[in-house]
Amino acid sequence: MTDAIDTRGLKKRYRKVEALRGLDLAVPKGSICGFLGPNGAGKTTTIRILMGLSRPSEGWAAILGNDIGNNELGTRSRIGYLPQHPSFFPRAEVRDVLRFAAKCYLSGPASQIRTRIDEILDLVGLDNRADRQVKNLSGGELRRLGIGQAVIGDPDLLILDEPFVGLDPEGRREVLDLLSDLRGQMTVFYSSHILDDVQRVADHVVIVDHGMVVDQGPMNLFLGGATATYAVALDGDGGAVIDRLGNEPWVQTTRSTGSGTWEVETGDRTSAEHGLLRALASGNGTRVTELRPLQRNLEDIYLDLVEETNDD
């Protein structure tokens, strides 16, 4: 299956700044993909290139299987886009904004278009704000209107640049819920700094730094991967059991965390799942009182990866 977004060796130079230095991106079709990276990593530059708003200096990119260099209208019409700073005519009413977007994306009888606008108002939770002027909307409502406008043409791919920025927790939650509702209907690719939100709603992650992909993959592999760390508590002569455990090929380190408690880091989750409990229970007169995987969150992993690239 072709990816929804595919880039190879994408480079972008602005005079002295190398904003992208050979970006290889792969966003699977149907995923909700969080695009992460520190300030200046190249996220907006990437999105602008994908949207045809800026040209790459080198490299190649395809959206929905079509080379962006061809700039086909057919492909463009299958993409919804919410820029970092969307602008609306402040005195326009919500329904008018959607009506205008519908004119750009939809054709067909007026009644069908009215139905679609009602569907979108319902989807983005603005049905009770349809007659309100844009200038009187909250930040979260404005962002949801922007998403409504972007999805009115039922795109296959929705690209959003920092959809949570500047929103309070309630506004963020509303936008998160909306992105979750789009799962299964289209591929969603969005940049964000709010790792907690990405962990909640994305099922695929791309991390960029200094214009290159540092890591990318499914969220579950990101959070777990092959390595896993376990908290262990033993009654009895636990020290001897832990020393023996340290000889297993799938154990990377063991560390005492207190009296009768340890952290065991394993490099092979599957072997650990099969062998850890058995190995711990093998000590004569020792009893396993706790065995618990320690889950790292996306923020820990992100910070490690970005620090690693800064050290290189």
- Residues in the site for ligand ATP, rule: CB under 6 A? 14, 17, 19, 37, 39-45
**Amino acid in position 125:** G
- Token pair of 188, please? 């969603």
- Token pair of 81, please? 């886009």
Separation CA 84–CA 199 (nearest Å):
20
Q: Which is nearer to ligand ATP, 41 or 160 (CB)?
A: 41
Q: Which is nearer to ligand ATP, 43 or 95 (CB)?
A: 43
Minimum separation from the CB atom of position 15 to ligand ATP (A): 6
Minimum separation from the CB atom of position 109 to ligand ATP (A): 41
Radius of gyration of the chain (CA): 24
Separation CA 53–CA 84 (nearest Å):
13
Q: Which is nearer to ligand ATP, 216 or 254 (CB)?
A: 216
Minimum separation from the CB atom of position 205 to ligand ATP (A): 15
The residue written with tokens 């979750």 in the block is 180
- Token pair of 247, please? 């000889």
Q: Which is nearer to ligand ATP, 32 or 208 (CB)?
A: 208
**Amino acid in position 214:** V
Q: Which is nearer to ligand ATP, 14 or 89 (CB)?
A: 14
Q: Which is nearer to ligand ATP, 10 or 97 (CB)?
A: 10
Minimum separation from the CB atom of position 141 to ligand ATP (A): 23
Minimum separation from the CB atom of position 37 to ligand ATP (A): 5
- DSSP, collapsed to helix, strand or coil, labels residue 124 as coil
Minimum separation from the CB atom of position 137 to ligand ATP (A): 23
φ, ψ of residue 214 in degrees (nearest 5): -85, -40
- Token pair of 103, please? 């004119």
β pairing state of 212-218 and 79-82: unpaired
